[in-house]
Structure 1
Amino acid sequence: MLDYQELFEKIPDGITLHDAEDASVIDANEQFCEMLDYTRSELLELGFEDFILNEPPYTIERAEEYIQKAATDGPQTFEWRDETKAGDPIPVEVHLRQTNLDDRQCILAVVRNITDRKERERELKRKNERLEEFASVVSHDLRNPLNVAQGRLDLVREECDSDHLAAITRAHERMETLIEDLLTLAREGDTTLKLEEVTLADVIARCWQNVETAEATLHIDTTHTIQADHARLQQLLENLIRNAIEHGGADVTVRVSDLVDGFFFEDNGPGIPEETRERIFEAGYSTLNEGTGYGLQIANEIAVVYGWNITVSDADDGGARFEITGVTLNE
C-alpha cells in the first residue's frame, strides 16, 4: 500500500493523483470512485479525458492547460464538469497542486461535488428574478393608478373643499408608504453589501432629518465607527425612528447609545408588550390600524443580511429598546 493511501481515504472529498507529464491516473480514493460510480480498478485503466464532460468550456485541452499551470505556475482552483460512468454530468470544484511521490512529479487533484451548492445558487437566482418581477409590478401597476388618483384629488381641491379630502390624502399617503415598504422588501433579495467605515452618530442624525419627527427629541450618545453599507444602515435606522414616532407619539424621546458589540435604540413610549415581541418582526404585523406592518420586518431583514442580531426589550423608562449586536466596530 502506498504511504499516502491512509490520507486519501480520510479526506471526505474525491482525490486523484496524476502523472505530471501525461496526466495519466496514478491513483484515486474511494470517495472519487463513488462520486463517478466507478470501481478503483476501472478508474486506473482510464485516462483523465475519459471522466470529464469534454464539452465547451470543459474540454480536454482546457483541462490539460490547468494541469500544466499547476506544474509550472502553482496551485489552481476552478469549477469543472466531470462525467459519471453512466454519462451524467456532475459539477465539481477542483484544486490542483504539484507534489512529488518517490521522486516522481505528480499532480494532486482534490475534487468536491458541488451539486447541492449549484442547486442553491439556481434557487437563489430564481428567487431574485421573482423578486425583481414583483418589484416591477409594484412600481408600475400600483404607482400609475395611484398617481392618477392623486392628480384627480388635486383637481377636486381646486373645485371644492371638503373634510373628506384630508382622509383621501391620508389614504394615498398610506398607499405610498406601503408601496415603498414592499419595494424595499423586494430589494432585500439582493444580499450584496458595500461595506465602508461609517460614523454611527452622523448617520443617525441624517436619518432623523429624513423622517417626519414632529416634536420628538433625539439624544445621540454613541461614539462608534462601524463597518456598514451606508444605504442599508440608513434604511434600518429610519424604520426604527418611524416606529418610535408612530407608537411613542409626536413628543417621544429617542436615545441611541453604544453596546460592546453594537448599539441600542430606545424610546420612552408605551413599550412593546412581552407577549407580542415574537411577532413584531413578522410581515404585515402592526398594533396600529394605520400601520403597514413592514417597517420592523425591513429592519430585521437588513440586520440578517449583515449577520447582526436585533432584539427587543424594555427600556429603562418603560419604552421599547432595540439592541443591535454582532456589529463590526472600527478601533
Structure 2
Amino acid sequence: MQLADVSPAFLAYVAAYGLATLACVVALSRARAVADPDTRRGLVALVVASGGWAALELAFLVLPSTELKYGAYVLSLVVGLATVGAWLYFCSAYTGRSFHRNGTYRRLAVAVYLAIVTVKLTNPIHGWYFETAFVATPFPHLTIVHETLHWVVSGLSYALVAVGFFMLYELFLEADYDTRPLAALVGVTGLPVLFDVVGFASDRLLDINYEPLGVAVFAVGVLYVFETEFLAVQLTDGVDDPVVYLDDSDRIREFNGRARRLFPALSTAVGDPLDATLPDVAAALDSADGILELTDDGETAYFLVSDTSFTLGQVDIGRVVVFTDVTRVERQRRELERQNEQLEGFAAAIRHELLNTLQIVSARVDIAGDALEDGEVSTARNSLSTASETAERMSDIVDDLATLARYGQTVDDRTTFDLGGVVRAAWDRTDTDGMTLTMDGGAEVTADPERVQDVFANGFSFAAHNGASTVTVRVTDDGFTITDDGDPVGEQDPDSFFAYGTAVPDAEAGMTLPNLRMLAETHGWTVTLETDYDDGVRIVVSNVGTLDGRAESEGRVGDPSG
C-alpha cells in the first residue's frame, strides 16, 4: 500500500499516539530527577505506564493481523489500569497526603487491580469485557464493542481519577500565588475523557482510549514548560512566608501573594533581574546577616532573607528566596545593642565626670590649703565652696544617670498628648537663664510624655549652656526641631555632641545632648544636628511618626521683660 493511499485520519492517530509515546520517554528522565522521593516514584510510574499505554494503543492501530491487534489491546487495558494507581500515588505524594503510604489502601488497590486484570485477560473465554468487530470507516480498523463490565470498571477508574483531580485542585486553590497554568494543564489531562465519550456515542472519533494523550501533555507540561510552578507548589505547601522564585540567571520567575503584597513592584517584574527590581533584597542576600528592613503597613519590619537552590536531579534550575519575618527578634536584638551602647555611654560619662570632679575638688582643696597657710581665709573659703559645689554637681549627675537608666528601656506604654503642653512644661522646669521660647506650629504625638518632656528639657538646658538667647521649637512633617541662636557647631564633629563623656561644648553641657538622643531613641526616633545651620544649633528629631497637625500657631514664653 502506497503512503498516498493511507487515510489522513489513520496518520493523525498514529502521529498522536507516537508523539505521546515519545513525550513520555522524554519526560521520564526529568521525572526521575524530581527531588521528593514519593513524588518521584509516583510521577515515574505514571509516565512509564502512560507511555506503555500509548505504545500499545499505537500497536493496536498499526499491527497487521487481528490476533496481534487483539493482544495489543488486551495488554493496553492491563497497563492502562495501572495508570490509575500511579496517578493516585502521585497526587497523594505531591499534595503532601499520606494515602499512598497507607498499607491497607495499597493492599486493597493491588487486590482490586489483580481481580480486574484477571477478568481482562480471560476476556477471550467469557467475552464479558469487550467484543471486536472490523469496520472500514474512517479507515479499515478493528473496533471495540464494550460490554457492561467495561463500563463498571471505567466508572470506578474515573471516580478514582477524579479523587486525584480534587487533591490537586485543592492544593492549587490553597497556594498563595498564580496556579492557573497548572490548573489548566491538569484540565487538559482530563480532556481525553470527553474524546472517549464522543468516540463511543458517535462516528466523529474512533472508540479508543485517549487518556495516554492527556497524561503525555501533563508530563511534558509540568516537567519542561511549567517546571518552576510545578516544583514551587510542593516546595511552598504549608509555607506562610513571602517567597520569590528566580531562574538560574537570577531573573524573577514566580512569586506568591504574600511576596507581591510586600513588594508591589513584583507584579510587573516577571523576567526582570532581581537586583534591578529589588536591589535591597539582592543586597540582603549578599550581606553577612541577611536582614532586610522594610516599612510594612506603616511600621518598620525586619525580614531574614534566605535562599536555596531548587533542582531537577543534578541540574539547578533556579533559586527560592524566602522572607522570614524576624521583626520581634530583630527589635529585641537592636534594643539590646542600643542598651549596651547606652551602658557603655553611661560608664564613659561617669568616668569622665568622676575624673573631672576629682581633679577640680583636689585642685581646689590644694588651693584652699595653700591659702590657709598664707592666711588668705577668703580665698580658702571660696576654693572649698567651689569644691563643694562640684561634688554636689557630681551627685546630681549620678542621680540623673540613675533616672536615665530607668528610662533607658524602649517605650511600651504610649499616650497621645499635645506637644505644645509638654514643651511648655519642660520650659518651666528648666533653668532657662532669661531665654525666650517660640513654639512654631502645633501637633499631637503618641509617646511617653515624661520622657518627651525630658527630651525638651535637655534641649533647653543645652541651649542655655550654649549661650543662646532664643529657642524655637518647630513641628515638621515627621517630627520636630529645637533651634537656638547660640554658638554654632562650626568645624566640630556633630556626633561628638551626642557622645557621653566628650564634654561638648563644655563640661556642664556635655551630657544634655547624649541624654536627649538616648531618650528619643527609646521611642524609635532619630536625632541629628543640622550641620548646614550657621546661626546657632538646630537639633532635628525625626521618625516620630504621623503627627496630627493643628492650625499653625506661634507663642512666646519666658520673655525677659516679663
User: Contact 1:181–1:295 (CA<8 Å) still a contact in 2?
Assistant: no
Residue 535 (structure 2) aligned to one of 313, 318, 322: 318
Q: Which amino acid aligns with 1:210?
A: R
Q: Quick check: 2:497–2:505 contact (8 Å CA) kept in 1?
A: no
State the one-letter code of the partner of 1:243. F
Q: Which residue of 2 aligns with 1:10?
A: 236
| Cα deviation 1:27-77 (Å, max 9, x = unaligned) | xxxxxxxxxxxxxxxxxxxxxxxxxxxxxxxxxxxxxxxxxxxxxxxxxxx
Matches within 5 A, 1:59-98: none
Amino acid of the structure 2 residue aligned with 1:318 = D
Matched, 1:290 2:512: no
Q: 1:174, 1:290 within 8 Å by CA — same for their partners in 2? A: no
Partner of 1:257: 474
Q: What SS class does the counterpart of residue 492 from structure 2 fall into?
A: helix
Q: Tell me whether 1:330 sits opposite 2:330 in the alignment.
A: no
Q: How many residues in Structure 1 have an aligned counterpart in Structure 2?
A: 207
Does structure 1 conserve the Cα–Cα contact (< 8 Å) formed by 2:408 and 2:518? no
Deviation, structure 1 residue 169: 3.5
1:7–1:183 Cα change, 3 Å? farther
**Of 428, 443, 446, which residue of structure 2 is paired with 1:209?**
428
Return the alpha-carbon distance in structure 1 between the equivalents of residues 419 and 390 of structure 2: 34
Task: State how far apart, in whole Å, the 2-side matches of 1:317 and 1:295 are.
Answer: 21
* Unaligned 5+ runs, structure 2: 1-93, 96-167, 172-230, 242-323, 355-360, 362-376, 550-562
1:164 corresponds to which of 379, 383, 387? 383
Q: Contact 2:503/2:509 (CA < 8 Å) preserved in 1?
A: yes
Rate the CA distance shift 1:6–1:184 in 2: closer, same or farther, 3 A: same
Match runs of 1:136-151 below 5 Å: none
Does the 8 Å CA contact 1:267/1:315 hold for their aligned counterparts?
Answer: no
The structure-2 alpha-carbon separation of the partners of 1:259 and 1:163, relative to structure 1 and needing over 3 Å to count, comes to same
Which gives a bigger RCO, structure 1 or 2 (Cα 8 Å, sep 6+)? 1
Q: For structure 1, which runs of at least 5 residues remain unmatched after alignment?
A: 16-111, 143-148, 150-159
Letter in 1 for 2:434: E
Query: Counterparts of 2:401 and 2:238 in 1: how far apart (Å)?
Result: 44
Selected match of 1:235 from 451, 454, 464? 454
Q: Which has the higher helix share?
A: 2
Tell me the secondary structure at the aligned position of residue 396 of structure 2. Answer: helix
Cα-Cα RMSD: 3.9
CA separation of 1:170 and 1:315: change in aligned 2, threshold 3 A: farther
Deviation, structure 1 residue 6: 4.2
Q: In the alignment, which residue of structure 2 is the partner of 1:309?
A: 526
Match of 1:38 in 2: none
Q: Which residue of 2 aligns with 1:20?
A: none
Matches within 5 A, 1:113-192: 117=329, 124=336, 162-192=381-411
Q: Indicate the residue corresponding to 1:154 in structure 2.
A: none
- Whether 1:281 aligns to 2:502 is no
Tell me by how many angstroms 1:13 deviates.
Answer: 5.3
Identity among equivalent positions (%) equals 27
User: Retained in 2: the 8 A contact 1:197–1:330?
Assistant: no
**Corresponding residue SS for 1:239:** helix
1:291, distance to aligned residue in structure 2 (A): 2.5
Question: CA deviation digits over 1:254-273, x for unaligned, max 9?
Answer: 11112122211101101112
Larger Rg: 2
Aligned-residue offset at 1:124: 4.6
**TM-score (normalised: structure 2):** 0.32
d(CA) in 2 for partners of 1:8 and 1:299?
A: 53
Distance 1:173 1:193, change over 3 A: farther
Of the three residues 461, 464, 473, the one matched with 1:245 is: 464
Partner AA of 2:478 in structure 1: D
Q: Distance in 1 between matches of 2:396 and 2:482?
A: 23
Task: Name the residue aligned to 1:81.
Answer: none
Q: CA deviation at 1:8?
A: 4.9
Deviation at 1:197, TM superposition (A): 1.4
Residue identity in the other structure for 1:213: T
Instruction: Go from structure 1 to structure 2 and tell me whether the alpha carbon gap of 1:286 and 1:124 turns closer, same or farther (over 3 Å shift).
Output: closer
Whether the aligned pair in 2 keeps the contact of 1:271 and 1:319 (CA below 8 Å) is: yes
Q: Which amino acid aligns with 1:275?
A: Q
Question: For residues 173 and 222 of structure 1, do their structure 2 counterparts lie closer, same or farther at Cα, with a shift above 3 Å needed?
Answer: farther
Match of 2:442, SS?
coil
CA spacing shift, 1:315–1:197, aligned 2, 3 Å: farther
Q: For residue 205 of structure 1, what is the amino acid of its counterpart? A: R
1:257 corresponds to which letter in structure 2?
A: R
Letter in 2 for 1:326: N
SS in 1 for 2:459: helix
Kept after mapping to 1: 8 A contact 2:462/2:509: no
Q: CA 1:9–1:221 in structure 2 vs 1: closer, same or farther (change >3 Å)?
A: same
Work out whether residues 184 and 298 of structure 1, in 8 Å CA contact, stay in contact via their aligned partners in 2: no
SS at match of 2:383: helix
Deviations 1:65-121 (A, max 9, x none): xxxxxxxxxxxxxxxxxxxxxxxxxxxxxxxxxxxxxxxxxxxxxxx999x949x67
Residue 269 of structure 1 pairs with residue 486 of structure 2:
yes
Q: For the Cα contact (< 8 Å) 2:458–2:512, is it kept in 1? A: yes
AA aligned opposite 2:548: N
Describe the superposition over 1:224-260 as per-residue Cα deviations: whole angstroms up to 9, x where unpaired.
Answer: 11112111101111111111101125xx211111212
